[in-house]
Structure 1
Amino acid sequence: MIPDQLTSGQYQTVYNLFSLVIAAQLFTALYLVAAQPRVLARYRQALLVSATVCGIAAYHYFRIFNSFRDSFVTDATGGNGVYTQAPGESFNEGYRYVDWFLTVPLLLVELVVVLALAKKLQTSLLLRLVPASALMILLGYPGEISDSDATRNIFGLLSTIPFLYILFVLFVELTRSLDRQPETVRNTVSKMRILLFATWGVYPIAYLLPLLGFDGATAWVGKQAGYSIADILAKCLYGLLIYRIARLKSFADDPAFALEEGGHEGVDAPRSRVNA
């Protein structure tokens, strides 16, 4: 539940966190676009998807930031007083769910695309991961905006089902498809899956705070902090790891490109050369 008032410290904490997320998402998107020439053409689509994810997140955090500023006001000079909810205004948590509804499926798309799997396998993975991730977000929203513990429990449980299915696909079925990937790519994919699991784990914890007895302004600020930090890790850091995979696969596919980029060390040689 949105608190009726925030202390100056709580307000500044949320204000600065939202500003940090905007900067992180925006400049990560710009970096990924600028980095296109650093990978082979076949892997640039994954970088564009990563940049799109960060761009969508930056846009929605602008909206979240503006909604927050409009929702809490103070009469104190210098911004050192108590911030109360402005008449007729309310912080819009829906912006965050719209962002997740668009970006979470794209996070899974960029992972599958950058691996350049066989067309049939790639299609199979996407047809399972994308609907499951969208369903996970849709089922979580009614509980997020509800004041009823029963409603939060029901929709929290329902949204957990597609979440567990996504983990199964990523950790079990995708693993079977990594045999032909360079060892450095396999290691990076393993780190990415752990990153997704760890950062996505923040969301249900924040979601469950009211059910765990945490309420009021402190719990709300903690939820916003958890969501913000998780969004930076799950989008910006994840996007940079996608870029690393694209670089490693580019080096493995084209030794001349690797030599030109100075990044051939530690990358497996193409299999065609190994078997020659």
Structure 2
Amino acid sequence: MNNIENIYSYTASQFEAIDHLLTMGVGAHIAALVFFLIVSRFVSPRYRIATALSCVVMVSAGLILFSQAQLWTEAFAYNASTELYELQQLTFSNGFRYVNWMVTIPCLLVQLLIVLGIGRQQIFKDAAKLILAAWGMIITGYIGQLYEVSDISQLMIWGAISTVFFVVLLYIVGMRVGKLRHSMPAPTNNTIMTVFVVILFAWTLYPIAYLIPYLATGAEGVVTRQLLFTVADVTSKVIYGIMITYIAVHRSASEGYEPAMEVIGRDGYRDQVNA
């Protein structure tokens, strides 16, 4: 019973709210997967790996959310005498999310480096730094959430350590985006800044959800945490992936990739390439 979800009982509306949030997350990732598969043919080979990584993220995150939704409905059962959903022998765990983030966050970071147009050697160097920072952030956060029921002080200590890795990660990403955005063709130079804002917004929701055992108590706090997780998942993976693909298509068009120029329908790109 490492997660606070397992120490409360839920009204029908609270239980269904969490069930619907998890199901919505699954649906959003499946729909986005179909979108990325269709659009990938409009992305030049140089940037197509970024869209392919979006597909990997959608499958990985979608499967985890599906298992979370199944686990939620199996862990609790309705008690007619109390009119509450109560924990059964099987417990619910958010730990699976952390395992999933070990896969998806490196993919998201590599996508960003690719559409920034960084050279191959530099991508490997930057990716190594970012992935190590991401794994440090995730592993220490995973350890901390194991204490959210038994020892809030340990939750806070490990959360602080995780935050150090988080700040380092954001600093590296911000420096790269700030340095290279001016070399990107319009309108992608503005879009990449929006991508960074999306990262700041969505990834900040995760530590807030992590702190819910400290910030809020009761079943309402659990609903709030699952809401934060869902908004963060959809924003940081689905919306982020769409924006990355948008940049990849426009960069492909600016470099003369015919399918990209056709789908965008901008003669300006043809004039730019022919010049």
**TM-score w.r.t. length of structure 1:** 0.91
User: How much has 1:149 moved relative to structure 2?
Assistant: 1.4
Partner Cα distance (2:175, 2:86) in 1: 49
Aligned length: 269
Contact 2:44-2:260 within 8 A present in 1 as well:
no
- 2:18 is aligned, of 14, 26, 34, to 14
Number of the residue aligned with 1:28: 32
Partner Cα distance (1:45, 1:5) in 2: 45
User: How much has 1:180 moved relative to structure 2?
Assistant: 2.3
Number of the residue aligned with 1:43: 47
User: How much has 1:190 moved relative to structure 2?
Assistant: 0.5
Partner Cα distance (1:174, 1:30) in 2: 28
Partner Cα distance (2:140, 2:178) in 1: 28
Could you give the per-residue CA deviations for residues 244-273 of structure 1, whole angstroms, max 9, x where no partner exists?
011110110007445422432676975x76
The 5 A counterparts of 1:151-166 are 151-166=154-169
Could you give the per-residue CA deviations for residues 149-186 of structure 1, whole angstroms, max 9, x where no partner exists?
11011100000111101111111234223332113112
Contact 2:41-2:259 within 8 A present in 1 as well:
no
Partner Cα distance (1:158, 1:268) in 2: 50
1:100 paired with 2:104, answer no
- The aligned amino acid for 1:72 is F
Q: Cα RMSD over matched residues?
A: 2.1
Number of the residue aligned with 1:56: 60
SS at match of 2:183: coil
Partner Cα distance (1:231, 1:202) in 2: 9
The 5 A counterparts of 1:168-187 are 168-187=171-190
Q: Which runs of 5+ in 1 are unaligned?
A: none
Number of the residue aligned with 1:225: 227
Partner Cα distance (1:137, 1:103) in 2: 11
- The aligned amino acid for 1:16 is H
Number of the residue aligned with 2:87: 85
Number of the residue aligned with 1:127: 128
Partner Cα distance (1:98, 1:200) in 2: 16
Contact 1:184-1:267 within 8 A present in 2 as well:
no
Contact 2:10-2:85 within 8 A present in 1 as well:
yes
- The aligned amino acid for 2:172 is V
- The aligned amino acid for 1:83 is Y
Partner Cα distance (2:160, 2:106) in 1: 20
Contact 2:21-2:230 within 8 A present in 1 as well:
yes
- The aligned amino acid for 2:158 is F
Partner Cα distance (1:162, 1:208) in 2: 17
User: How much has 1:94 moved relative to structure 2?
Assistant: 1.3
- The aligned amino acid for 1:164 is V
Percentage identity across aligned positions? Answer: 27
Partner Cα distance (1:54, 1:132) in 2: 22
> Aligned in 2, Cα 1:266/1:226: closer, same or farther, shift over 3 Å?
farther
Partner Cα distance (1:45, 1:158) in 2: 32
Could you give the per-residue CA deviations for residues 99-154 of structure 1, whole angstroms, max 9, x where no partner exists?
11211111101111233321222122111111111111111012112121110111
Large movers: runs of 4+ above 6 Å:
none
User: How much has 1:70 moved relative to structure 2?
Assistant: 0.9
Partner Cα distance (2:193, 2:48) in 1: 21
